[in-house]
Amino acid sequence: MGNPTIHRKVLNAINAEWLEPSVGFPHDFSEYQSKQSLVYDLMEPFRWLIDVSVVDAFESGTLKLQDFYFTADDYKYHFEAAAKKRFINLLRERFNAGINYKGRVMKWDTVIEQKTMEPGRFLTGKSSTLDFTEPAPKLERHDSRRIRNKILALTATQAKELGIGRSTLHYLRENASRELSFNLYGKVRRRLSLSEND
């Protein structure tokens, strides 16, 4: 699945470093600038963000097979508009999630821009290192049975003391009572004092 979000951020960073988007390394060099081989190269370390988001979307019920339809004129499957909006919101949560990188908590879209600039700095001699192993993906699940039980046992008073609103508590209980997978993002996970190992 292509991702215009990652593509746009990578292309912006490439342009900021005055690199030529059509000159790739693993992807073949192209005489046509529209191919943008270097953009495809530098998107690869982050493609997993989209793959995981797609898995999350189907496991959580955000997307269902019924949300897609086939059109014979272009032989492609398309989203229903409402499903597309739900998936974009899920993607937004993923890209806005914080990650520890170089001693700071950054959003993924910031990390993508910084990592994309590194090859340009390396090729122009501004940096002596080039590392695509960090930040490594962390794919822990936050919907274990212990966490589900903790959410279901949480009273409205306890939730209020933790700074968790009534609507959020309702959403958490609803998800915890179902068998479908769900995620706990940033603020809620911290407020529940859940460790990354849960």
Residue 143 has pLDDT above 70, yes or no: yes
Question: Which pLDDT tens digit goes with each residue over 79-128?
Answer: 888 988 888 888 888 888 778 888 888 888 888 888 888 887 887 788 88
| 157-192 confidence digits (pLDDT tens) | 988 888 888 888 888 998 888 877 777 766 787 787
pLDDT for 95:
80
Of 33 and 83, the one with more pLDDT = 83
Annotate 33-90 with DSSP letters as a single string: GGG-HHHHHHHGGGHHHHHHHHHHHHHHTSS-GGGEEEETTTTEEEE-HHHHHHHHHH
DSSP one-letter string for 94-119: HHHSEEEETTEEEEHHHHHHHHHHHH
pTM summary value: 0.60
Do residues 80 and 42 make contact, with C-beta atoms less than 8 angstroms apart? no
- Among the listed ranges 4-13, 63-72, 74-83, which one has the minimum average pLDDT value? 4-13
pLDDT band at 1 (very low <50, low <70, confident <90, very high): very low
* pLDDT surpasses 60 at 75: yes
The pLDDT assigned to 140 comes to 66
For residue 71, give every residue at least 6 positions away whose Cβ sits within 8 Å of its Cβ, in sequence order, or none: 78
Neighbours of 186 (CB within 10 A): 12
User: Does the structure show a pLDDT above 70 at 132?
Assistant: yes
The reported pLDDT for the residue numbered 62 is: 85
pLDDT over 70 at 154, yes or no: yes
For residue 195, pLDDT over 50 is answered with: no
pLDDT above 50 (res 22): yes
Q: Which structural domains are found in the chain, ordered by start?
A: 4-136 (1.20.120.920), 140-198 (no CATH)
**Torsions phi, psi for 100 (to 5 deg):** -75, 120
Report the pLDDT averaged over residues 142-171: 86
